[in-house]
Structure formats: C-alpha cells, structure tokens
Amino acid sequence: MLQVLINGALLGAVYALIALGLTMVFSIMRVVNFAHGQMYMLGGFVVYYLYGQYGLPFYLALPAAGIVLGLIGVAFNRFFFQPVLATSTREENSMLMAVGTALLLENLALTLFGEKQRGVPEVVEGIFIWGDVAEGGVVLTYSNMLVMGVAVLAIVALLGFVQYTRPGRALRAVAQDKEAACLQGVDVKTTTTLGFAIGAALAGIAGGLLVTIYGVNAGVGSNISTKAFIMVMIGGAGVTKGAILGGLLLGFAEAIGYDIFPGSVTYLIIFVAMIIFLLFKPNGMFGKPWG
C-alpha cells in the first residue's frame, strides 16, 4: 500500500504542476486553454532537443523550455486571444480559439518533429529500494524523486512569486477583479500577458520535466488537457490552491483506483464521482460562482 501512496504522491505533484498553469490562464483571462496539453508537449520537445540531442545540461534545458513556451504564450496572447476577446460577442469564442491553437500546435509538432515517441537519457540514475514491491516493499527511482522535487519547487516558487512580488500581486488583483485592478493602477494588459506567459511556461516546464521519465510524442497533448480540466474543476476554476489540491486528489485517486479496479473502471469512477461532486459543489472546492 505504501508503494501505491508513493505512486499517488508522484502523480499528484506532477498533476498539480500541470493544473497550476491551466488555472493561472483561466483566472487571468477566463480562457480555458485547450492547448495547455500541446504546450506541455512542446516543452517536452524543447528539452528533448536541447538536453537529449544537443547535450545541453538539463538544468539549462528545463528553464529554456519554460522561456520558449512563455514566449509562445506571449505571442498567442497577443495575436490570437486578445483580438478574439476584443471582438467576440460570446465568452466561449476564446475557448474556440484555444481549440484552434491546440489543433495547430499538435499538427505543427507532428510535421516538425515526426510521429515517433522521443525520450532523453536519465538525468540522475539509480533507484531507492526498500523491500520487494510484490511483498509490500517500496521503490522510488532517483528520476522520480527529482521530478517530484522540481515539481514541488516550481509550485512553491510560483506561490511565492504570486504572494510576495509586485507583479504577483498585480496578477492576483487582475484575477480577482479586472476593473478594480485597473482602478488601482495595475497595468491590466501587461499583467494579462504575464499571466498567460506564466501559464504557458508552467506547461512547458511540466513537459520538459516529465520528458525525462515519460518521453514525449506529438500526440500527448489532448490527454494531458483532459486530465488538467478534471483537476481544475475539482479544485475550482481559477483558484491556485484548488488546482494543487485537485492535482493531488486526481493523482491519489488514479494510483489507488488502479490498485483496486481494472484500468478503465478507475476513470469511470473518477468521472462519475466528479460529476456528482460538482452537482453538490458546482464551483469546485474553492471556486467562485460563475458569472
């Protein structure tokens, strides 16, 4: 059972990191970024090329993935989302744009990087073994430890940034109330761009981090997005602690579910449980009501 919990913790930390980026974009722009998974995928490819192919050290390649995706985020925001938000008559138009960009990124990646699964050498080799798993023992690879550690670090860093820095406070102000933030002298346009960039960068970092243990291919995006949606919904859309909690919950639910039920039943139960949960708490755990 301990192994199951460790599996859950690893998944949870990773999921939380993925969900954070999505919820960030949502809180700032009210956009459900369907392309989040595709951004994750691109982050994986950045690290694959820089670290795996060109031999750059991992600790440089990973931030590079964040920066590249952050820039893509800025461009997307500027050229795709802002125009749509400015001209559309319905809120869902931004969702539509997100679907369009997801399709674009996925096919661009397929054309540029090919159809193959890619992987990189392990950053740290070795494994921590404590007994036989079949007998209730526990194993934890150093790679997984590294991933969990970096994920937690990234989450803490983001929370610190949002809590204690000036641009971070501006982000929170915009997330809370755009007009009020504007009145308080916050540069809403820049802050929105920053928010989208951070959201995209988080996806890139998650992808770049996970390529070290999962590999990456052009088609992984949509699954990541769907899972991220679940986590964000459980926690409440646009709420940081909600995303973290949602990620952890899904991680543990998946790990424990796979231990008890045959594969797909786990996700059936997760989906049904989530639907029922949302009926009683329509805004997730910490979310604000819609509207």
Partner 1 sequence: MKNRSILRCTLLAIAAPLAILAAPVHAQDVLKIGVNGVMSGEAASWGLVNKYCAETTADVYNAKGGVDIGGKKYKIEIVALDDKNDPKLSVSNAEKLTSEGIKYIIGPNIDTTALAVKPVVERAKAMNFPYAFAKELYSPPANASVLGMVASYQVGPIMYDYLKTKKGVKSIAFLARNESDSKNQQQEGVEAAKKLGLTITADKDTYEPGTKDFMPVLTKIIKTKPDAIVLSGVAPADAPLLNKAARDLGFKGSLSTETAQDSKILAQVAGAKANGFLSVGGASTPEIQSDAMKAYIEAYKKRVGEWNDEAGTKVYALELIIAVLQKNPAAINDVEVFKKEMETFSMVNPFVKDGKTKLEFTGKADFGRRSQVGVPLVVNEFQDKDFKTLFVGTIKN
Partner 2 sequence: MNSLKKRDIYVSFSVLAIMLVLPLFIGQSRYLLSVLMNCAGLSVIALGVWLIFSIGRGYIGQAGFALIGGYTTGILLTRYNLSYWVVLPLSALSAAFFGALIGSFILKLRGIYFSMLTISLTEAIRLAFLNGGSFTQGSKGITGLPQPFSGDSPLPMYYLGLALLAFALLLIWRVHYSRVGRIFRAMRLNEDLAESFGTDVWRYRVMAFAIACGLGGLGGSYFTVFIQSVYPQSFTVEHSIYYMLYCFLGGLEYVSGAIVGAFVLTILFELLREFQQYQTLIYGVLMISVILLLPNGLMALGSSKSEGSKKALPPIGGADTTPGKADAKPMIGRSS
Cα three-residue angle 180-183-186, rounded to 5 degrees: 90
Does residue 134 interact with partner 1 by CB under 8 A? yes
DSSP 282: T
Q: What tokens appear for 1 in the block?
A: 């059972």
> Binders of partner 1 among 89-128, rule CB under 8 A?
106-107, 110, 114-122, 127
* Residue 281, beta-bridge partner list: none
Residue 230 binding: pick among partner 2, partner 1, none (C-beta 5-8 Å cut-off by kind): partner 2
Does residue 215 interact with partner 2 by CB under 8 A? no
Q: Indicate the residue among 51 and 286 with the shorter CB distance to partner 1.
A: 51
Q: Could you give the CA distance from residue 229 to residue 237 in angstroms, rounded to a whole number?
A: 9
Residue 285 binding: pick among partner 1, partner 2, none (C-beta 5-8 Å cut-off by kind): none
Does residue 180 interact with partner 2 by CB under 8 A? no
Q: Indicate the residue among 73 and 168 with the shorter CB distance to partner 2.
A: 73
Q: Distances in Å between the alpha carbon of 134 and those of 4, 78, 259?
A: 12, 53, 13
| Contact of 16 with 82, CB cutoff 8 Å | no
| Contact of 249 with 12, CB cutoff 8 Å | yes
Residues that bind partner 1 (CB under 8 A): 3-4, 7-8, 10-11, 14, 52, 106-107, 110, 114-122, 127, 129, 132-134, 137, 139, 141, 144, 210, 213-215, 217-220, 222-223, 254-255, 257-259, 262-264, 267
